Amino acid sequence: MTQCLDYGRSFICNTASFNAVRFWIESRTVLHDDRDGGQVTFLQCGSCKSENTFAESDLFMSPNYDFMPIFGGDRLLIFRRHADARETYREIRPVDLWGAPDYRLVYGEPVRELTTFEEIRDVTATEVPIVARTEIANTESGLRAVIEYPVKTMNISLDKSLYQVDTGPVALPDLSERHQPAVDSVRLAFVAFNAGHFADFVIEQPTPVTRDGQEVSTVHHYSNPISRPATNSMFAVGQPSI
């Protein structure tokens, strides 16, 4: 039986006495090494804002930035997105930065694979969560990734009998080479697909801002879409309330 995370109920609960922070899990990526059979799981957490934690006042930092952690093996990848692109955008730390993480993973049930447009259409019209998986591979490096994520936005054309997934962010690993630590391979991306055999990604990366044809700044933004051969699948996780 296929198991999918219940993304409304899966968290990473950290254990440090100074800050036992809890993070919501937003997507899960499993990186497979098909040469030696090894694998690493990346758990991408929900984004928050930079804060003065437990201060008496002025709880948000100024200037502020987006903060997102991704747990992967014995390392932690932290993204800090400021208004402009900075060298501090990525940082790798030990996974126990906030104490030993307690992975509270809840699996949804029942799980039913959606294999036809009619099944996808019908579940989309209900409150039942849909979870998608996108598998990509690089035969030269021997690396393969299975990206699992809740479908937050779904497009349905009743006229054309077509669907289209558009959701993110997800943890997209670079499969062209082996990274040490493995979590250093991860980039943030949004994913879209409307068929089972390919997926398009738009990746957060340094992106120039232009005005009147002149570059005035560089920001971290989702840009330069790419398309990859992929195997996509979707699952209904749970039952309608009525």
Backbone dihedral angles phi then psi of residue 226, each to the nearest 5 degrees: -130, 160
User: 87-141 pLDDT, tens per residue?
Assistant: 999 999 999 999 999 999 999 999 999 999 999 999 999 999 999 999 999 999 9
CA neighbours closer than 13 Å in the CB half-sphere of residue 40: 24
Residues 6+ apart with CB under 8 A from 193: 132, 134, 164, 165, 199, 200, 230, 232
DSSP letters, 5-45, are B-TTS-EEE---SS---EEEEEEEEEEEETTT--EEEEEEE
User: 27-74 pLDDT, tens per residue?
Assistant: 999 999 999 999 999 999 999 999 999 999 999 999 999 999 999 999
Straight-line distance from the first to the last Cα atom of the chain, in angstroms, rounded to the nearest whole number: 24
CA neighbours closer than 13 Å in the CB half-sphere of residue 3: 5
Q: Which amino acid is present at 74?
A: D
Closest to 163 (Cα-Cα) out of 173, 155, 171, 151? 155
Q: SS3 for 47?
A: coil
Q: SS3 for 140?
A: coil
Q: Could you tell me the two tokens for 100?
A: 């030993």
pLDDT given at position 240: 83
Average pLDDT, integer, range 188-202: 98
Q: Could you tell me the two tokens for 148?
A: 């699992």
**Is it the case that residue 242 has pLDDT exceeding 80?**
no
Extents of the domains making up the chain: 11-237
Q: What is the dihedral of CA 150, 153, 157, 161, to 10 degrees?
A: -10
User: 2-25 pLDDT, tens per residue?
Assistant: 899 999 999 999 999 999 999 999
Rounded Cα–Cα distance for residues 64 and 138 (Å): 38
pLDDT given at position 239: 85
Residues 6+ apart with CB under 8 A from 221: 204, 205, 207
Rounded Cα–Cα distance for residues 241 and 55 (Å): 42
**Is it the case that residue 1 has pLDDT exceeding 70?**
no
Average pLDDT, integer, range 186-190: 98
